């Protein structure tokens, strides 16, 4: 068990390190003139030289990666426009177009993305699991067929089209705006409601199908028959005895899904104009802000790898049937 | 395990009793299975599936529209780039709706013909999605076959790469990498011509989507091959001295038709959506290439004044993806051995 966890952690670390080195190489060592790109159009040669110097682009490749990694651990200095900017400990570079450390930009963007994804997850988990469980109980009936047909239809609609139509036409929903949760929880919730509903409705379809399939399997088990024959009410059998076992695979899928949504809420953020991680990356793309792009990609990768790790380990602990190979 | 009373009841009424097969709905119509290969059986099943036939026809219609785009535009007598400023009022809104000259009307502001842009706009979606699907399928199948069959350190390396690719946030990369690739293709992007940028974006999109697309299929194929390679016919081929590449492509590959076909049919709509979505975000294709994603992005600000401008590409992409996904589901039902009985 311990050995398995150790192996899993090591492989996760290897993925993160390779991502870091490969992305850095792609962004800064490729023959792409990063200094010129970072500096933008109408840039004086002096300023290009300044950036090149402060980023260490004229140094050998290994040293560059080394100082970038060192920046992540202990922080580093950047000179921007004559003044020296200090970039604190987990330093992921300095955005020259915004004049701020990348870490700070990411720290501002992440809460927005997390708010969107968590709220959406609450909606689709409740709707999906309920609909799936109900459909599983009346399996084969016309209600079941209607539910399955609807999920199939909803899943096939392109997400960005759906979100765009909601954003444009669902004007009865409160206006979308991000307010930090601690500032005012009520405006936080109402400002994100439209985004939550979009994520919720589209993802609920998949969760309906997962939980339906899983509940059908669970309700066919012997112990459910035993419980029913003991005279326990149907509702109690389904929601107490069945749901507990039936939800294990759903929770696993949820863990991985959540990680992907954290890194892929780009459409939601862009359509509703919410300043999250995706929006930040998108803006960085428009301005060729390479440090921000690199930072966004790295944070996204770490989030994804960590979530996968947590799900894997949690699953082996929760479900003794999983054999460790 | 003895079937439950409920199960028996379901079996009697002909409803599917397999939990995973059931979600996709469609009853498997009985087809004549004698003297037919599995693929032929699946195709026969598909032909009897009404949903599959309707969806296939709709998809075919849009493919034909894309192929004959120049002809259709000529039939209308318009092209994608001419600016009809005479049809635009001083506020930038078109003065005409759909007419016999402009079948879908003209764009606000620039006054380009919308029908021509619509038929040409179908092309990049299909070309990008088609080529990415082909590339990822070839790479995925080859890597999956090699990793599963040869095993050893090669398997470990390929498996690690698969895990690696699958654990990258691909949407973030899809935004970040074209920025870098662009400077490979056309130098610093500020001084590049619009057409060059558009072409470079087109290839960047295909490269990025291909890079992230092959891994899941490779993993699937590897798993299948791991169980297939223990079968007698593979052992027999090995004993007979059949070279490895022949075992891979002549013995194993025909047994993998079902998962490959299913994966292709599910990948195609996904890539169409991804292309349109990334283009909508401004990361995919750019002007002057006509593309549905681009039209949607341009049209969203005019959704009140000129709803047709927005709704034509929105409806088109939804219909294409919807029919392709439903077709994919039917194909999975037809090919999946678990639903075969």
pLDDT digits (tens, 9 = 90+) for B15-49: 444 444 444 444 455 667 777 777 888 888 888 88
- Chain A residues near residue B54 by CB distance under 8 angstroms: none
Digit-coded pLDDT (tens) for B111-157: 677 788 888 888 888 999 999 999 999 999 999 999 998 888 999 89
Interface predicted TM-score (ipTM): 0.81
Domain ranges, residue B260 = 42-335
The closest of A64, A73, A54, A53 to A27, measured between CA atoms, is A64
The predicted pLDDT at position A297 comes to 85
Q: Provide the residue range defining the domain that includes A27.
A: 2-102
Does residue B199 fall inside a structural domain?
yes
Assess if residue B271 is contained within a domain.
yes
Given an 8 Å threshold on Cβ–Cβ distance, is A288 in contact with B169? no
B94, part of any domain: yes
Q: Are residue A69 and residue A117 in the same domain, yes or no?
A: no
Neighbouring residues of B90: CB distance < 8 A, sequence distance ≥ 6? none
Q: Are B106 and B84 in contact (CB under 8 A)?
A: yes
Scan for tokens 């609450």, then name that residue: A122
Best residue of A158, A272, A302 to probe chain B, by most B CBs closer than 10 Å: A158
Is A76 touching B (CB cutoff 8 A)?
Answer: no
Q: At A119, which CATH number?
A: 1.10.3720.10
Per the domain annotation, does B84 fall within a domain?
A: yes
The residue written with tokens 């939804």 in the block is B318
Q: A179-183: long-range contacts at Cβ-Cβ below 8 A with a sequence spacing of 24 or more?
A: A180/A111, A181/A111, A181/A115
Predicted confidence at residue A55, as pLDDT, reads 66
- Residues of A within 8 A of B176 (CB-CB) are 23, 27, 281, 284-285, 293-294, 296-297
B20:A213 CB<8 A: yes
Residue B18 pLDDT: 45
**Residue B138: what pLDDT?**
94
Residue ending a domain, among A72, A87, A102, is A102
Residues of chain A with pLDDT under 50: 325
Number of domains forming the structure of chain A: 2
Tokens (6 digits) for A250:
């759903």
> Are A50 and A151 contained in the same domain?
no
Asked whether residue A76 falls in the same domain as residue A167, the answer is: no
Where residue B337 falls among pLDDT bands split at 50, 70, 90?
low
pLDDT for residue A32: 57
Chain B environment of A23 (Cβ under 8 Å): 176
- Which residue among A155, A270, A297 places its CB closest to the CB of B173? A297
Q: Which of A79, A102, A125 is the last residue of a domain?
A: A102
Does B78 reside within a domain? yes
pLDDT at B341: 35
A residues 204-243 closer than 8 Å to B (CB): 209, 212-214, 216-217, 220, 222, 225
Residue B4 CA neighbour count, 13 Å, CB half: 18
Output the pLDDT for position B340.
43
Q: Which has more pLDDT, B97 or A254?
A: A254
Nearest residue, CB atoms, B300 vs list A140, A168, A222? A168
pTM tops 0.90, yes or no: no
Of B4, B171, B310, the CB nearest to A266: B171
Whether residue A77 is found in the same domain as residue A189:
no
Q: Provide the CATH number for the domain around residue B268.
A: 1.10.3720.10
Same domain, A85 and A149: no
Q: Distance between CA atoms of A262 and B172, rounded to whole angstroms?
A: 10
Give the pLDDT of residue A123: 93
Residue A101 backbone phi and psi in degrees, to 5: -65, 145
Residue A95: beta bridge partners? A100
Which residue among B7, B179, B321 places its CB closest to the CB of A293? Answer: B179
How many Cβ atoms from other residues are within 10 Å of residue B166's Cβ? 17
CB contacts, 8 Å: A301 with chain B: 167-169
A198 and A98 inside one domain? no
Same domain for A273 and A164:
yes
Q: Is A157 on the interface with B (CB under 8 A)?
A: yes
DSSP character string of A200-252: HHHHHHHHHHHHHHHHHHHHTSHHHHHHHHTT--HHHIIIIIIHHHHHHHHHH
pLDDT digits (tens, 9 = 90+) for B181-198: 776 666 554 555 667 777
Least confident piece of the model among B1-10, B296-305, B312-321:
B1-10
Nearest CA in chain B to A31: B184
Confidence at residue A185, expressed as pLDDT on a 0 to 100 scale: 81
Quick one: pLDDT at residue A79?
A: 62
Per-residue confidence (pLDDT) for residue A127, from 0 to 100: 93
Position with higher pLDDT, B95 vs B271: B271
* pLDDT, position A81: 57
Closest Cβ opposite residue A15 in set B6, B24, B164: B164
Which of A53, A79, A102 finishes a domain? A102
Question: Could you give phi then psi for residue B243, rounded to 5 degrees?
Answer: -60, 150
**Is A87 in a helix, a strand, or coil?**
strand
Q: Do residues A302 and A295 touch, judged by C-beta distance below 8 A? A: no
Structural domains counted in chain B: 1
- Write the burial class of residue B153 (CB in 10 Å: 0-12 exposed, 13-18 middle, 19+ buried): exposed
Determine whether the interchain pair B25/A288 forms a contact, defined as Cβ–Cβ distance below 8 Å.
no
């Amino acid at each position: 068990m311990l050995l398995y966890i150790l192996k899993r952690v090591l492989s996760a670390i290897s993925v993160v390190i390779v991502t870091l080195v490969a992305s850095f190489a792609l962004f800064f060592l490729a023959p792409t003139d990063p200094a010129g790109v970072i500096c933008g159009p109408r840039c004086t040669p002096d300023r290009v030289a300044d950036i090149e110097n402060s980023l260490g682009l004229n140094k050998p490749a290994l040293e560059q990666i080394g100082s970038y990694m060192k920046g992540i651990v202990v922080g580093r200095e950047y000179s921007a426009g004559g003044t020296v900017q200090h970039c604190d400990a987990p330093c992921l570079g300095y955005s020259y177009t915004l004049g701020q450390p990348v870490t700070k930009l990411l720290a501002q963007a992440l809460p927005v993305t997390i708010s969107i994804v968590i709220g959406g997850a609450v909606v689709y988990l409740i709707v999906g699991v309920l609909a799936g469980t109900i459909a599983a109980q009346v399996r084969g009936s016309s209600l079941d067929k209607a539910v399955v047909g609807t999920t199939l239809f909803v899943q096939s609609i392109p997400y960005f089209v759906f979100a765009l139509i909601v954003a444009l036409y669902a004007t009865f929903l409160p206006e979308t705006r991000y307010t930090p949760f601690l500032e005012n929880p009520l405006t936080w919730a109402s400002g994100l409601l439209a985004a939550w509903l979009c994520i919720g409705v589209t993802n609920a379809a998949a969760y309906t199908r997962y939980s339906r399939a899983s509940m059908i399997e669970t309700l066919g088990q012997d112990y459910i028959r035993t419980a029913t024959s003991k005279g326990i009410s149907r509702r109690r059998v389904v929601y107490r005895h069945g749901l507990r076992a039936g939800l294990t695979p759903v929770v696993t899928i949820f863990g991985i899904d959540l990680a992907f949504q954290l890194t892929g809420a780009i459409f939601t953020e862009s359509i509703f104009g919410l300043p999250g991680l995706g929006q930040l990356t998108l803006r960085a793309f428009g301005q060729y802000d390479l440090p921000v792009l690199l930072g966004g990609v790295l944070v996204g990768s770490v989030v994804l790898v960590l979530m996968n790790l947590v799900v894997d380990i949690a699953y082996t602990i929760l479900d003794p049937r999983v054999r460790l190979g | 395990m003895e079937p439950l009373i409920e199960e028996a009841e379901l079996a009697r009424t002909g409803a599917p009793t397999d939990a995973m097969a059931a979600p996709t709905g469609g009853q498997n119509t009985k087809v004549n299975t004698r003297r037919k290969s599995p693929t032929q059986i699946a195709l026969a099943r598909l032909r009897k599936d009404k949903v599959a036939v309707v969806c296939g026809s709709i998809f075919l219609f849009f493919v034909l529209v894309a192929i004959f785009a120049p002809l259709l535009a000529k039939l209308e007598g318009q092209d994608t780039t001419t600016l009809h400023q005479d049809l635009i009022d001083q506020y930038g809104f078109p003065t005409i709706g759909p007419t016999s000259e402009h079948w879908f009307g003209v764009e606000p502001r620039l006054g380009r013909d919308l029908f021509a842009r619509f038929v040409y706009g179908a092309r990049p979606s299909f070309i990008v999605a088609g080529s990415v699907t082909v590339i990822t399928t070839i790479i995925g199948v080859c890597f999956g076959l090699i990793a599963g069959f040869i095993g050893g350190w090669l398997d470990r390396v390929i498996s690690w790469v698969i895990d690696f690719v699958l654990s990258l946030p691909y949407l973030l990369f899809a935004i970040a990498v074209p920025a870098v690739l662009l400077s490979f293709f056309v130098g610093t992007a500020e001084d590049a011509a619009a057409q060059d940028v558009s072409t470079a974006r087109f290839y960047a999109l295909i490269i990025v989507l291909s890079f992230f697309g092959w891994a899941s299929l490779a993993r699937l194929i590897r798993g299948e091959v791991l169980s297939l390679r223990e079968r007698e016919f593979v052992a027999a081929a090995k004993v007979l001295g059949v070279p490895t590449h022949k075992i891979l492509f002549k013995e194993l590959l025909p047994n993998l038709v079902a998962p490959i076909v299913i994966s292709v049919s599910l990948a195609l709509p996904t890539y169409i959506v991804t292309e349109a979505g990334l283009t909508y975000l401004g990361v995919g294709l750019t002007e002057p290439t006509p593309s549905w994603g681009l039209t949607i992005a341009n049209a969203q600000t005019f959704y009140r004044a000129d709803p047709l401008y927005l709704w034509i590409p929105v409806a088109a992409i939804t219909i294409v993806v919807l029919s392709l996904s439903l077709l994919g589901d039917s194909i999975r039902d037809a090919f999946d051995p678990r639903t075969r009985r």
